[in-house]
Amino acid sequence: MSKIDPGNYFEDFSVGQEIVHATPRTVTEGDVALYQGLFGSRFALQSASTVAASVGLERAPVDDLLVFHLVFGRTVPDVSLNAIANLGYAQGRFGAMVYPGDTLRATSTVTGLRETSNGKTGIVYVRTRGTNQREELVLAYDRWVLVPKRDVKAPAPDPLVPELASSVAAADLHVSWAPTEDYDPALTGSAHLWDDYDPGERIDHVDGITIEEAEHMTACRLFQNTARVHFNQHVEKDRRFGRRIIYGGYLISLARALSFNGLENAQTVAAINGGRHTNPTFAGDTIYAWSEVLERIRIPGNDRVGGLRLRTVAVKDRACAAFPWKDDEGKYDAAVVLDFDYTVLIPRRVTP
C-alpha cells in the first residue's frame, strides 16, 4: 500500500461523507504580522488593541479573512488538492472572535455532487465548520469546487445540488463587539458610519496593487493551502493557462484591504453571502476594486452596530471609475476577477 496521498478525485466523494481535516493550526502573532505584510489591511480594530478596547474587546483580534484562509487551508488536502477551480461560496457565517494563541480545526460534510457535461470532471459541494480549542464555532461556510475524475468511465452519481440561501439573515449575524464612548472615528480614518451609507451607493476604492509571484505563494504557504495549481510551474506550463493561478482567496483579502479607502469603519466581516471567481488571475496583474452597498441591515436588539451587505468587485489591470461588472446580457467584463457578496459590521451613529 502506498504511503503517498494523491488527493481525492470526483469518484472519492459521496453525499453525506464526513471529513475530519488534519493539522490543527495555532494562530500566532507571526501569522498576523505576515498576513499584514502580504495584504496591508488597515482596519483599526485588528490593528490596535486600544481601538479593540474601545469596542469592548480584550485585544486586537485576528483578521476575519485570515481566519477564513486558515480554516480553508485545513480542507484543501482532502477537498481541493486536485481541483481545477474553486467555483463559489455561500452561507458563510463568522462566530467567536479569534485571538493569537487560539487553535483552529476544521471538518467538512459533502452536501452535493454533480458530474459535468463533458464526463471528465464533477462539482463537489461541501459545508465546512471551523472551531477553536473550546469547540466554539469560529466560521462555517459552503463552497463548491470543480474536481477531475480519476477514471472518465466511472459511473456518475445521482446529481444533487444543495439549496443554498442567497444571504445570511440579520438574526444569524454574530456580533461580539460594540463601540463605547471611547470609540474615536478619527483613529479609524473616517467619520462615515452605518447611517451614512445608502443602498445602491457605489464606491471606487481608487488604489491598485500589483501581485508578485512570491507573494501569492507565500500566502498559500501561510494558509497551508497546498493546491497544486498555485505552486507547480513545471506542471502548469503544459496546462490550459501555462502559468500558476492565483488562489482566489488571495483576491478576497486584497479586495478587502483595498476597500478600506471608503469603508474605513467597516471593522469586521460577519458573513460571506456568496462569491464567484470569474476569471483567472496571474502574477503581474494589478488589482483594483469597487464596492456597492446592497443593503443596510439593522441588527435585532442592537442600536450601536449595524450591518452593510456589500458587493465588492475586484478587477485586473483596469481602474474602477466606471465600475466594470456585467454587460446588458449579464456576462462579466473580461477584467472582473472576483464578485464577492458579504456583510460587514460597522458602528451606528448614536443620537441623544
198 and 337 part of one domain: yes
202 within a domain of the structure (yes/no): yes
47 within a domain of the structure (yes/no): yes
63 within a domain of the structure (yes/no): yes
205 and 306 part of one domain: yes
Last residue of a domain, one of 150, 165, 198: 150
| Tally of domains in the chain | 2
The answer to whether residue 352 scores a pLDDT higher than 60 is no
pLDDT single digits (tens) 136-172: 999 999 999 999 999 999 999 999 999 999 999 999 9
Least Cα distance to 92 among 267, 274, 259 occurs for 274
Cell numbers placing 182: 471611547
pLDDT (average), residues 4-16: 93
Last residue of a domain, one of 98, 133, 150: 150
What is the predicted pLDDT for the residue at 209? 97
Least Cα distance to 264 among 314, 211, 308, 318 occurs for 308
pLDDT single digits (tens) 181-228: 999 999 999 999 999 999 999 999 999 999 999 999 999 999 999 988
206 and 351 part of one domain: yes
253 and 322 part of one domain: yes
21 and 91 part of one domain: yes
| Identity of residue 108 | S
31 and 114 part of one domain: yes
User: How many angstroms separate the Cα of 35 from the Cα of each of 7, 24, 42, 47?
Assistant: 27, 18, 12, 12
pTM: 0.95
What residues make up the domain containing 196?
190-211+246-352
335 and 203 part of one domain: yes
The answer to whether residue 65 scores a pLDDT higher than 80 is yes
206 and 266 part of one domain: yes
91 within a domain of the structure (yes/no): yes
Pinpoint the alpha helices (H) of the chain.
Answer: 29-39, 44-47, 49-53, 64-79, 213-223, 233-236, 248-258
Average pLDDT, the chain: 96
Structure confidence at residue 351 as a pLDDT band (50, 70, 90): low
**CATH number of the CATH domain containing 106:** 3.10.129.10
